[in-house]
Amino acid sequence: MTISPSFPYQLYLVISEKDCLGKDFLKVAEQSILGGVDIIQLREKKASTEDFLVKALKLKDITDKYNIPLIINDHCKVAEKINSAGVHVGNNDRSPSVLRDQQFLQDKIIGYSIEYLHQLENEHTKVSDYLGISPIFRTDTKKDTVTEWGLDGLSQIRSLTDKPLVAIGNINLSNVSSVIKAGADAVAVISAICAAENPEKAAFELKNQILK
């Protein structure tokens, strides 16, 4: 695969305490980095801003130790407070074009979820650093999704834009190669790593498939 110079990350872990099924989420994060994860997003859908901030600070100690970018899901104020590498937002969040105008985010990574084809033409896509293709395959981890793109949908989007594409949704060892072949620059996973008995091994195996 070709590595995108503007988004040189291939294995993207999206993490929450709940998705780690009782394991220490900070240990899961560290093990996943040792296994080959290139970038991590903290996604805590039910946390208060205060709780989110506490978790984000702890996770940032780990990502900083390994020089791995930490992306914050939804909570842009937390992102600013901890000076994260960037934010990920979707259609129900603050929009990328408004966020890009904020001083703090001018040189940071902004990720934007694509649920409809027409979004490829909008001002938010233009100012985003990568597009989350949302979802490739339906997943129990996030049920409020719109379009199941599938591999054909991903290929179609690949033919329509040069933006880095991050595929997400039910991606695991058995389908990751086909997702890369269909045109993804990176794959984002939750359960394939967070729910694994051995997160380091799970990350290592995924990364090997991606790099093949």
Ligand X SMILES: Cc1ncc(COP(=O)(O)OP(=O)(O)O)c(N)n1
Residue 145 marked as a ligand binder: no
Mark 67-106 with x for binding to Mg ion (rule: CB under 5 A) and - for no binding: -------x---------------x--x-------------
Half-sphere exposure in the Cβ direction for 155 (13 Å, CA): 6
- Give the one residue of 79, 85, 182, 189 binding ligand 3NM; rule: CB under 6 A: 189
- Give the one residue of 16, 32, 63, 73 binding ligand X; rule: CB under 6 A: 73
Position 86 contacts ligand X (CB under 6 A): no
> What is the 8-class DSSP label of residue 68?
-
Other C-beta atoms lying within 10 Å of the C-beta of residue 139: 17
Position 154 contacts ligand X (CB under 6 A): no
Other C-beta atoms lying within 10 Å of the C-beta of residue 107: 7
Give the C-alpha separation, 132 to 86, whole Å.
14
Structure tokens at 9: 């990350």
Work out how close the CB of 172 gets to Mg ion at its nearest, in angstroms, rounded to a whole number.
22
Q: Provide the b/e sequence for 161-178 (b: ≥16 CB within 10 Å).
A: eebbbbbbbbbbeebbee
Please, which residue, 128 or 134, has the CB nearer to ligand 3NM?
134
Half-sphere exposure in the Cβ direction for 193 (13 Å, CA): 36
Residue 163 marked as a ligand binder: no
Choose one: 66-74, 144-152, 172-180, 187-195; the region binding Mg ion (CB under 5 A). 66-74
Interface residue list for ligand 3NM (CB under 6 A): 14, 43, 113, 132, 134-135, 139, 141-142, 145, 168-171, 189-192
